[in-house]
C-alpha cells in the first residue's frame, strides 16, 4: 500500500504534455498501441512524430506589470521568466496541450507569483485592486477544464498565484486522526509523510503526482480509492481561504448544524472565491492489506448490476472499476505481453459464455486483514451470483502498475496526430445505462469524425456511480480546436440531456461554464454569483470561470 513516489519536482515538468520531461511511457507498449490505433482507423502509416515548439518559439508579449509592482513583488516570489509564464498559461486538457503544440495559445500571464507566505495575500489583494490586476490561483496545473485559463479583456494584466511553495505538512492530531497541511503540497509529499507515521489520506487521483491539496479542494477531486475513503470533500474537516474580503477559516469540528455549510460552499470554488492556503483532513491507519478481485462480464449492463449489488449490500470496496468492451479490449492489448495469451483469451471467453466483447472489472477491498478477507469473500460471491467470471488477480497488478503511467501515453498519441480526450459524469443507477447507450449511439450516428469511444465506471455509491469516457480519433490538422469543440459539445449534451452531472470530479472551469445553466436552476446560479460578488466585489479572482 505504500506508494513511496519521489517528491514532485515541478521544475522538471513538461509544459507541452504530462509529467516529467525525461520520463516516457513504456516505448514498446506505446508503439504497440499506436499501431493498433492506426489499424483501427485504417491508416497506412503513422503520422510522423511532431516536435513541440521550444519556449523560445512562443511569442510571449512583454509583461504589462508596472515597475512599481515588479519592484515590490520580485523579492516575494514574482517571476517574469518566459518558461514560468508559459507553464502557467494553461492546464493539461487536450485543448490546452494542442494549443501549446500548435503554438496557438493566445494569452500568457504577465507574471507568476510563487507565493512564499499566506500572509502576503492581503497586500496582494490590495495591490491587485489598486492596479486592476487579475489573479489566477494555481496548484499543480493538472486541471482539465480550463480552470487556470487566462480569460477576460485582452488588455487585462494577469498574475498567476502559484501556491506550491506552501507545501508543508503542519501537524498530525493522532487522537482525532487528522492532518493539517498547506494547500500547495503535492500528492506524493503529503502521502509519503503520512505513510511514515503509519497513516494514509486515501486520495489517489490519476494526477496524484502532479496535483496539489489546494487544487483537489478547489475542484472537488476524486481519487481511485474514493469508494472507501470518499471524494476530497468528504475528507476535509476544515479549511482556510483568503478572499479579497478577508480570511475565512471554517470551524474544525467533525460535524455541525450551524446553518448552511460554509465549508461546502467554498469547496469546489475553483479559485473564484479565494485562495485556499490550508486544510485539515481526516486520515486513516495504513491498511494492513489490500486485495483485488477481477472478473469479466458478458456485457456492460451485467457489470453495472454487479457493482450496484455490491454497493447496496453494505460492502465498501476501495477501488471499483468496470470497463466497457472497448476499454477492456485496449486494456488487454496493453497488459498482455505474450502473443499466446492474446490468442488464447478469446477461446476462454467463449468457453465461459462471455461472448466476443466481454467487460473487465476490478474491485479492491482494503483495511484490517480480517475486514479485507470478509469483504473479499462477499464480493466474490456477489460477482458469481451476478454472472461474473472470476479471473486471477494478476490483471489488477497490471492495472496498478500502469495507473499513474497511462497519462504519458496521451503524449505519444498526440505526437503522432491522434485526437484523445476524456470526460466524466455521475448519475443515479437508474440513469447510468441510458447515458452510456445514448453516448454510444450519438457517436455512432455522427459522421463528421472517425472516433473510438471507451468507457469505465469508477467511484461507486449506493445510489449511483461515475462514468468516465475516453474518445480517440484522428486529428483534423489545422482544425484541432474546432474538432475538439464539436466532440466536447456532442458528448456533454448527451450527458446533460440524460440526467448526468456536468462533472463528477473535474470541475467546471472555463470549458464547462456554458452548461452550468443546465446543471443549476437560475436562482441557484444567482446565489453562486452573489457569493462571488460578496467575497470578491472587484472580480479580481479567476474571472470567466464556473458561473
Ligand atoms: C492525466 C490526468 C489525470 C487526472 N486524474 C484525475 C483524477 O483521477 N481525479 C480527479 O479528481 N481529477 C483528475 N484530474 C484533474 C486534475 O488533476 C484535478 O482537477 C486536480 O484536482 C487539480 O489539482 P491541481 O493542483 O493541479 O490544480 P490546478 O490545475 O492548478 O487548478 C485547478 C483549479 O483549482 C484552482 N486552484 C488551484 N489551487 C488552488 C488554491 N490553493 N486555492 C484556490 N483555488 C485553487 C485553480 O484556479 C483552477 O481553477 C486529472 C488530470 C489529468 C491531466
pLDDT higher than threshold 60 for residue 1: no
Average per-residue pLDDT in the chain? Answer: 96
Query: 471 CB under 6 A from ligand 1?
Result: no
Ligand 1 atom having least distance to the Cα of 509? 49
Q: State the closest ligand 1 atom to the C-alpha of 277, by its place in the atom list counted from 1.
A: 41
Q: Which cell numbers in the block locate residue 527?
A: 446565489
| CB of 144 sitting under 6 A from ligand 1 | yes
Q: Is 468 a catalytic residue?
A: yes
Ligand 1 geometric centre to CA of 373 (Å): 34
Query: Which element (helix H / strand E) includes 305?
Result: helix 300-312
State the Cα–Cα distance between residues 466 and 432, nearest whole angstrom.
8
Report pLDDT for 197: 97
Rounded to an integer, the average pLDDT of 108-125 is 98
Q: Span 492-498, mean pLDDT?
A: 98
- Residue 182 beta carbon below 6 angstroms from any ligand 1 atom: no
Q: Is 183 in the pocket of ligand 1 (CB under 6 A)?
A: yes
Q: Is 17 in the pocket of ligand 1 (CB under 6 A)?
A: no
Non-local (6+) Cβ contacts of 309 within 8 A are 382, 385, 386
Question: What is the complex's ipTM, to 2 decimals?
Answer: 1.00
Check 94, 229, 468, 510 and give the catalytic one: 468
d(CA 290, CA 427): 28
Q: What percent of the chain has pLDDT over 90?
A: 92
Choose the residue to mutate in 84, 188, 205, 242 for probing ligand 1, maximizing ligand atoms within 8 Å of C-beta: 205
Ligand 1 center to 136 CA (angstroms): 13
Mean pLDDT of 394-422: 94
140: CA distance to ligand 1 center in Å? 7
Q: Quick one: cell of 150? A: 487566462
Q: Residue 221's pLDDT band (boundaries 50, 70, 90)?
A: very high
Lowest mean pLDDT among 7-21, 259-273, 358-372: 7-21
Radius of gyration of the chain (CA): 23
DSSP letters along 221-277, please? ---TTHHHH--HHHHEEEEEEEETTEEEE----S---SSS-HHHHHTT-TTSS-EEE
Q: Which atom of ligand 1 is nearest to the CA of 270?
A: 49
Task: Average the pLDDT over each of 8-12, 30-34, 305-309, 314-318 and give the range with the smallest value.
Answer: 8-12
CA distance 38 to 46: 6
Mutate to test the pocket of ligand 1, among 84, 134, 138, 224 (most ligand atoms within 8 A of CB): 138
User: Does position 26 have pLDDT exceeding 60, yes or no?
Assistant: yes
Q: Cell 480569460 belongs to which residue?
A: 151
Atom 21 of ligand 1 has which residue's CA nearest to it? 216
Q: Which atom of ligand 1 is nearest to the CA of 210?
A: 26
Position 12 scores a pLDDT of: 85
Q: Does ligand 1 lie within 6 Å of residue 109's CB atom?
A: no
CB of residue 91 inside a 6 A radius of ligand 1: yes
**Any ligand 1 atom below 6 A from CB of 163:** yes
- For residue range 302-359, list pLDDT tens digits in order: 999 999 999 999 999 999 999 999 999 999 988 887 888 888 989 999 999 999 999 9
Banded model confidence at residue 398, pLDDT cuts 50, 70, 90: confident
In this prediction, residue 10 carries a pLDDT of: 77
What structural domains does the chain harbor?
A: 10-162 (3.30.43.10), 169-285 (3.30.465.10), 289-403 (3.30.70.3450)
- Residue of the CA atom closest to atom 7 of ligand 1: 205
What is the rounded average pLDDT of the residues 510-526? 98
Say if ligand 1 is within 6 A of residue 407 CB: yes
Residue 227, helix vs strand vs coil: helix
pLDDT band at 107 (very low <50, low <70, confident <90, very high): very high
The DSSP line for 355-403 is -SS-EEEEEEEEESHHHHHHHHHHHHHHHHHTT-EEE-THHHHHHHHHT
**Atom of ligand 1 minimally distant from the CA of 406:** 1
Question: Across residues 190-202, what is the average pLDDT?
Answer: 98
Q: Is the pLDDT of residue 442 over 90?
A: yes
Task: Give the pLDDT of residue 449.
Answer: 83
Query: For residues 145 and 503, what is the distance between their CA atoms, to the nearest angstrom?
Result: 10
pLDDT above 70 for 499: yes
- Nearest 10 degrees: Cα torsion 246, 248, 249, 251: 140
- pLDDT confidence of residue 338: 81
Q: Specify the pLDDT at position 542.
A: 98
The predicted structure's pLDDT at residue 336:
83
How many angstroms separate the first and last alpha carbons of the chain? 39
pLDDT-derived band at 528 (thresholds 50, 70, 90) equals very high
C-alpha to C-alpha distance for 180 and 279, rounded to whole angstroms: 6
* CA of residue 142 to ligand 1 center, whole Å: 5
**Per-residue pLDDT, 485:** 97
Closest C-alpha to ligand 1, atom 28? 141
271 lines ligand 1 (CB under 6 A): yes
- The finding on whether 211 has its CB within 6 A of some atom of ligand 1 is yes
Q: For residue 256, what is its C-alpha cell?
A: 455541525
Q: Are 17 and 57 in contact (CB under 8 A)?
A: no
Query: Looking at the predicted structure, is the pLDDT value of residue 4 above 80?
Result: no
Q: How confident is the model at residue 2 (pLDDT cuts 50, 70, 90)?
A: low
As a whole-number percent, the residues of the chain with pLDDT over 70 amount to: 99
Amino acid at each position: 500500500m505504500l506508494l513511496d513516489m519521489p517528491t514532485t519536482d515541478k521544475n522538471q515538468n513538461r509544459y507541452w504534455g504530462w509529467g516529467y520531461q525525461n520520463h516516457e511511457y513504456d516505448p514498446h507498449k506505446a508503439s504497440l498501441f499506436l499501431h493498433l490505433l492506426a489499424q483501427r482507423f485504417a491508416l497506412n502509416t503513422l503520422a510522423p512524430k511532431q516536435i513541440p515548439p521550444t519556449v523560445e518559439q512562443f511569442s510571449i508579449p512583454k509583461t504589462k506589470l508596472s515597475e512599481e509592482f515588479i519592484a515590490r513583488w520580485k523579492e516575494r516570489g514574482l517571476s517574469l521568466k518566459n518558461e514560468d509564464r508559459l507553464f502557467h498559461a494553461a492546464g493539461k486538457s487536450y485543448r490546452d496541450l494542442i494549443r501549446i503544440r500548435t503554438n496557438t495559445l493566445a494569452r500568457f500571464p504577465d507574471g507568476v507569483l510563487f507565493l512564499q507566505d499566506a500572509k502576503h495575500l492581503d497586500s496582494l489583494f490590495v495591490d491587485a485592486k489598486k492596479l486592476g490586476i487579475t489573479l489566477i490561483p494555481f496548484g499543480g496545473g493538472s486541471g482539465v477544464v480550463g480552470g487556470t485559463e487566462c480569460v477576460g479583456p485582452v488588455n487585462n494584466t494577469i498574475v498567476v498565484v502559484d501556491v506550491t511553495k506552501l507545501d508543508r505538512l503542519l501537524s498530525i492530531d493522532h487522537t482525532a486522526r487528522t492532518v493539517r497541511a498547506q494547500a500547495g503540497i503535492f500528492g506524493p509529499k503529503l502521502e509519503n509523510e503520512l505513510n511514515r507515521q503509519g497513516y494514509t489520506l486515501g486520495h489517489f487521483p490519476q494526477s496524484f503526482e502532479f496535483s496539489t491539496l489546494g487544487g483537489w479542494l478547489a475542484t472537488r477531486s476524486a481519487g481511485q480509492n474514493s469508494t472507501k475513503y470518499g471524494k476530497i470533500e468528504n475528507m476535509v474537516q476544515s479549511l482556510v481561504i483568503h478572499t479579497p474580503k478577508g480570511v475565512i477559516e471554517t470551524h474544525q469540528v467533525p460535524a455541525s448544524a450551524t446553518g448552511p455549510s460554509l465549508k461546502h460552499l467554498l469547496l469546489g470554488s475553483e479559485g473564484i472565491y479565494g485562495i485556499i492556503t490550508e486544510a485539515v483532513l481526516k486520515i486513516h491507519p495504513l491498511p494492513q492489506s489490500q486485495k483485488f478481485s477481477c472478473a469479466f462480464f458478458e456485457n456492460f449492463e451485467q457489470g453495472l448490476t454487479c457493482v450496484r449489488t455490491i454497493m447496496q449490500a453494505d460492502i465498501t470496496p476501495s477501488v471499483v472499476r468496470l470497463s466497457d468492451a472497448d476499454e477492456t479490449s485496449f486494456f488487454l492489448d496493453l497488459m498482455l505481453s505474450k502473443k499466446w495469451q492474446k490468442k488464447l483469451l478469446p477461446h476462454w471467453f467463449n468457453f465461459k459464455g462471455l461472448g466476443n466483447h466481454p467487460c473487465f472489472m476490478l474491485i479492491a477491498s482494503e483495511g484490517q486483514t480480517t475486514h479485507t478477507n470478509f469483504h473479499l469473500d462477499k464480493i466474490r460471491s456477489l460477482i458469481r451470483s451476478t454472472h461474473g467470471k472470476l479471473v486471477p488477480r494478476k490483471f489488477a497488478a497490471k492495472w496498478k502498475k500502469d495507473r499513474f503511467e497511462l497519462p504519458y501515453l496521451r503524449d505519444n498519441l498526440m505526437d503522432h496526430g491522434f485526437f484523445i480526450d476524456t470526460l466524466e459524469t455521475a448519475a443515479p443507477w437508474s440513469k447510468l445505462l441510458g447515458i452510456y447507450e445514448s453516448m454510444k449511439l450519438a457517436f455512432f450516428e455522427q459522421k463528421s469524425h472517425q472516433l473510438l469511444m471507451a468507457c469505465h465506471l469508477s467511484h461507486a455509491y449506493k445510489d449511483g456511480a461515475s462514468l468516465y469516457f475516453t474518445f480517440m480519433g484522428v486529428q483534423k490538422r489545422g482544425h484541432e480546436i474546432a474538432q475538439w469543440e464539436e466532440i466536447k459539445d456532442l458528448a456533454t449534451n448527451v450527458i446533460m440531456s440524460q440526467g448526468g452531472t456536468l462533472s463528477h470530479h473535474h470541475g467546471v472551469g472555463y470549458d464547462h461554464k456554458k452548461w452550468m445553466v443546465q446543471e443549476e436552476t437560475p436562482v441557484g446560479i444567482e446565489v453562486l454569483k452573489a457569493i462571488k460578488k460578496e467575497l470578491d466585489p472587484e472580480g479580481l479572482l479567476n474571472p470567466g470561470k464556473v458561473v
